[in-house]
Amino acid sequence: MLLREAAGAGLRVWAKGGKVRVSSLEPCYDGLLERLRVHKSEVYELLAGGRCRCCGGPIDWRRPGGVTFADGSAAHVPCYEQDEIAHFLAAADRAVNGAAEGLARCP
Ligand SMILES: [Zn+2]
């Protein structure tokens, strides 16, 4: 996802006053700013909670089924739950594999 790529590149992206704002301490050379500019309406909807931050699909707030986050973004409940499960599984994998690596290094 473009926002994750931006965060990974050290960009801070937020919505304010109906616009997408971007700041960075480092110069951005890989066309990321241009892609953010081209997709600014979708980026704004993601940041403002109009689209799911997991799947990118629109969120219909007239019906239950959405989760909001402190940063103003939102997700469908099933997408959020899948994302949480993926995070737990990744943490469990790191714990098991990290423990296995630690045992392999033991004399
Ligand atoms: Zn979703």
Per-residue pLDDT at 29: 66
Exposure class string for 29-48: b at 16+ Cβ within 10 A, else e? eeebbeebeeeeebbbbbbb
Rounded to the nearest whole angstrom, what is the distance from the C-alpha of residue 13 to the centroid of ligand 1?
Answer: 20
Strands 19-24 and 11-16: antiparallel
Map 79-90 to HEC letters.
HHHHHHHHHHHH
Using a cut of 0.85, tell me whether the model's pTM lies above it: no
| C-alpha 55 – ligand 1 centre gap (Å) | 4
Distance 3 CA to ligand 1 centre (A): 15
pLDDT band at 107 (very low <50, low <70, confident <90, very high): low
pLDDT category of residue 88 using cuts at 50, 70 and 90: very high
Q: How much of the chain exceeds pLDDT 70, in percent?
A: 98
Contact 1, 56 (CB under 8 A): yes
pLDDT for 100 beyond 80: no
User: How many angstroms separate the CA atoms of 56 and 62, rounded?
Assistant: 18
CA of 59 from ligand 1 middle (Å) equals 8
Residue 89, pLDDT > 70, answer yes
43: CA distance to ligand 1 center in Å? 15
Question: Ligand 1 mean position to 106 CA, how many Å?
Answer: 44
Q: What is the pLDDT of residue 98?
A: 81
